[in-house]
Amino acid sequence: MNLTKNQNFTVHIWKIRGYIKVDRYLRELIRKKLKDKCGSLRKAEIKYGFSDYHHRRLDRKFTKIDILFKLTNICKLSKYEVEKHILKWIPYSNSRQFEIKFPAKVIPLHFRIAASVIGDGTISRVEGHTFFVWSQKETKRMEELQRLLLKTNFKKRGDKITIPTIIMQLVSNALDMQIKDFSKENFLKKCILLPKEYRLQVLTAIIEDEGSFDKNRLLIRMSDKNIMDLVCDLIDSLNYDRTKLREYTEKSKYSDKNILMYRTEMNIRGLKKFNEDLEAMKQKYSYLAGLWRKSGKLKQLSIKYTLMDAYERHEKLIPQIMGFIQ
């Protein structure tokens, strides 16, 4: 992956898996090109090894992406022009339909959804398909964010909400990663190389699930040391003050045993910068780019006076004083 700090991400339809439905114009154009090339549709089917099932109903049924591009390659049609005529996409047969324009622009809010797997999300793989689920008592904001990006509603089952496959496919491709290889660790490693707004949304998703505030700080804690090491790298990349990663034990919620945990803390100085960056993102994208349940506490702490401000002044004054002494 070769990323730059100012990179914009777009994903072309041929970069993802699934099935698509195209408009009538493209269907007619493909059939005309096949006739012109081979003399008749039947001759084209024999020559290239497909049936009328593959081209007759392109505008009425979903066709596998690679089959469509096999047809358009035979017709010597530009793949960039072809994707302009795509109407809908589905990840697999008989699944939810999405109306998405390609090439699809992947913005930081897509990463906000994808990053929810780091904290209270789970990844499961069944029969070659990968599924992502986020578990929270309050899913209203996540539902709003999905609706904002995909223009559709998602059903909630208890305290679980599905993270749409299309979001994860777009994000995985933006990171030059196959969705079958998606893991929390791989995802975080690649996110640290992203432009600032993307990194900020990834951190915000983690704080939403794994962060807790007290009167002077934000605490982030998890049991996976590798993940917490990467979270610390992510915080450092954004220049937010934090403490060193520490280990401690706490009683398990599910047994009497103690479990080993890892934590880092952002002080008020770091929280002020974090809040300023989030406010800028909320102005640019939506209030959904900010913290959701914990936004009030962040705002309260970010306006709190701290001696760290005095420390910054001393950093500037001490060299001047030392100059006089010398």
3-state secondary structure 60-78: CCCEEHHHHHHHHHHCCCC
Neighbours of 168 (CB within 10 A): 22
- What is the rounded CA–CA span in Å between residue 227 and residue 17? 28
- Give pLDDT tens digits for 262-278: 999 999 999 999 999 99
- What is the rounded CA–CA span in Å between residue 110 and residue 101? 15
Q: Give residue 178's identity as a one-letter amino acid code.
A: Q
pLDDT recorded at residue 307: 52
pLDDT recorded at residue 321: 53
How sure is the predictor about 160, in pLDDT bands with cuts at 50, 70 and 90?
Answer: confident
Dihedral sign of CA atoms 180, 176, 135, 164 in order: negative
Answer whether 290's CB lies under 8 Å from 282's CB.
Answer: yes
pLDDT recorded at residue 315: 55
- What is the rounded CA–CA span in Å between residue 202 and residue 205? 5
pLDDT recorded at residue 3: 41
pLDDT recorded at residue 306: 57
Catalogue all structural domains in the chain, each as residue range(s) with its CATH number: 11-103 (no CATH), 107-302 (3.10.28.10)
pLDDT recorded at residue 19: 94
Does residue 308 register a pLDDT over 60? no
- What is the rounded CA–CA span in Å between residue 72 and residue 79? 8
Burial, 219: exposed, middle or buried (Cβ in 10 Å; 0-12, 13-18, 19+)? middle
Compute the radius of gyration of the chain from its Cα atoms. Answer: 25
pLDDT recorded at residue 11: 94
Answer whether 123's CB lies under 8 Å from 130's CB.
Answer: yes
Mean pLDDT of all residues in 209-224: 92
**pLDDT top residue among 95 and 109:** 109
pLDDT recorded at residue 121: 85
Neighbours of 97 (CB within 10 A): 14
Does residue 127 register a pLDDT over 90? no
Mean pLDDT of all residues in 202-219: 93
Mean pLDDT of all residues in 44-53: 89
Does residue 256 register a pLDDT over 80? no
Percentage of the residues of the chain whose pLDDT score is greater than 90: 62
- What is the rounded CA–CA span in Å between residue 120 and residue 172? 19
Tell me how far the alpha carbon of residue 1 is from its chain's centroid.
Answer: 16
**pLDDT top residue among 207 and 312:** 207
Answer whether 240's CB lies under 8 Å from 270's CB.
Answer: yes
Mean pLDDT of all residues in 3-23: 80
pLDDT recorded at residue 312: 53
pLDDT recorded at residue 61: 92
H helix or E strand, kind and range, residue 292? none
**Max Cα–Cα distance, the chain, nearest Å:** 95
pLDDT recorded at residue 242: 94
- What is the rounded CA–CA span in Å between residue 247 and residue 262? 4
Neighbours of 120 (CB within 10 A): 17
Q: How high does pLDDT run on average in the chain?
A: 87
Which DSSP letter does residue 9 get?
E
Mean pLDDT of all residues in 252-262: 82
Which DSSP letter does residue 195 get?
-
Q: Give residue 130's identity as a one-letter amino acid code.
A: T
Percentage of the residues of the chain whose pLDDT score is greater than 70: 90
Does residue 34 register a pLDDT over 90? yes
Report which of 315, 237, 238 is spatially closest to residue 273, judged by C-alpha positions: 238
- DSSP 3-state of 80: helix
Question: For the whole model, what pTM was predicted?
Answer: 0.86
Which DSSP letter does residue 94 get?
T
- Give pLDDT tens digits for 1-12: 444 444 568 999
DSSP secondary structure string, 148-192?
HHHSS---EETTEEEEPHHHHHHHHHHTT--GGG--HHHHHHHHT
